[in-house]
Amino acid sequence: MHKFTLEILFQIIGIGSASGLMFKNNQLLVVGDNSSYLYEYNIENKVLERHPLTENPSENIAKKDKPDFEAITEFDNKIYIFGSGSTEKRTKMVQLDTKTRAVETTTDLSDLYLSMQTFAELPEGDLNIEGVVRKDNEWYFFNRGNGAKGKNIVFTVQGKNLTEEFNIITNQYKLPKIKGIRTSFTDAVLVGDKIYFLATAENTDSTYNDGEVLGSIIGSIDTKTMKIGFTKKITDAHKFEGLTLYKETEKELTFLLCEDNDTEELKANIFKLTLNK
């Protein structure tokens, strides 16, 4: 059950520390956690474009200053990019036009992130949003449990907006271990009524400092029950941080994955993961 194949598909020169993916119309949209650009890569023509997300965009931003864009998703013809919330400088949500890739609004989600942290009884520094999914009228925020408390949480946010009128529901998950280290959420994508997620084992108890990478898993959550359907280890070596649906058939799902290399080297390896349904 859930047999898989994993292979490197191509490499993009010019992107460092890729942390979020979205595939649309043969274009691969990529965010990097140390960059303030949205990258657009044409898979057929192998052309890379950059779209600024801030007024003075740059790459390889110092860790203490970076906006830490970790999640990208699309809903109602808009693209949304989210900071992780792990420091005061990482709380922005950027909304872009799907066609032009132009920034329409930038919203500070400090109140939402603080509410999540308080509601889940997370210590300061333990909030670390790595994936965001939108389904109907609900947002799903995936907190990576690599902080001191090790809480892998999905925050379901309901309401008119993400700044003033919202309601939060939490579901906490005990994910599998790799080599004795608990895996923690690194991204998620919606496929039908299921959310497929990535989780990585990294030997650190900090949302700020990196550690030894021990591998990654893929799994699913049913949005109706919020229960995990399955988990499967897919690597012992890679820290996968981005996940997007590439193709779907009656029997298989094919995803594209990106790896955060945690270096200043501007290249991103894109992997193809084919999974039996």
Could you count the other beta carbons within 10 Å of the beta carbon of residue 66? 21
Displacement of CA 241 from its chain's centroid (Å):
6
Residue 243, Cα to own-chain centre: how many angstroms? 7
**pLDDT surpassing 80 at residue 186:** yes
56-63 long-range contacts (CB < 8 A, ≥24 apart) are: 59/16, 59/32, 59/34, 59/35, 59/266, 60/16, 60/34, 60/35, 60/264, 60/266, 61/34, 61/35, 61/36, 63/34, 63/208
Strands 152-159 and 166-173 come out as antiparallel
Q: What is the mean pLDDT of residues 32-37?
A: 93
Secondary structure of the chain: what % helix, strand, coil (to 5)?
5, 55, 40
Q: What is the mean pLDDT of the chain?
A: 93
**Nearest-angstrom CA–CA distance, 39 and 50:** 5
Closest CA to 97 of 63, 51, 55, 134: 51
Q: Any idea which of 14-28, 93-107, 157-171, 197-211 has the lowest mean pLDDT?
A: 197-211
Residue 262 binned pLDDT confidence (cut-offs 50, 70, 90)? low
| Residue 53 pLDDT | 97
Give how far Cα 221 sits from Cα of 81, 130, 140, 165, 258, Å: 22, 16, 11, 26, 21
What is 218-255 written as a DSSP string?
Answer: EEEEETTT--EEEEEEEESS--EEEEEEEEE-SSEEEE
Q: Which amino acid is at 226?
A: M
Residue with tokens 């994910």: 175
- Which residue, 197, 265, 201, is CA-closest to 35? 265
**Residue 154, both tokens:** 């999905």
Whether the pLDDT of residue 134 is over 60: the answer is yes
CB 244 within 8 A of CB 195: no
pLDDT band at 154 (very low <50, low <70, confident <90, very high): very high
Which stretch of DSSP H or E encloses residue 118? Answer: helix 110-119
**In whole angstroms, what is the distance from residue 246 CA to residue 256 CA?**
6
User: Which residues of 136-249 form beta strands (DSSP E)?
Assistant: 138-143, 152-159, 166-173, 177-178, 181-182, 184-191, 194-203, 212-222, 228-235, 240-248
For residue 206, pLDDT over 60 is answered with no
pLDDT band at 205 (very low <50, low <70, confident <90, very high): low
Q: What mean pLDDT is predicted for residues 39-63? A: 94
High-pLDDT (> 70) share of the chain, %: 96
Q: Is the pLDDT of residue 260 over 80?
A: no
Tell me the backbone φ, ψ of residue 110, rounded to 5 degrees: -55, -45
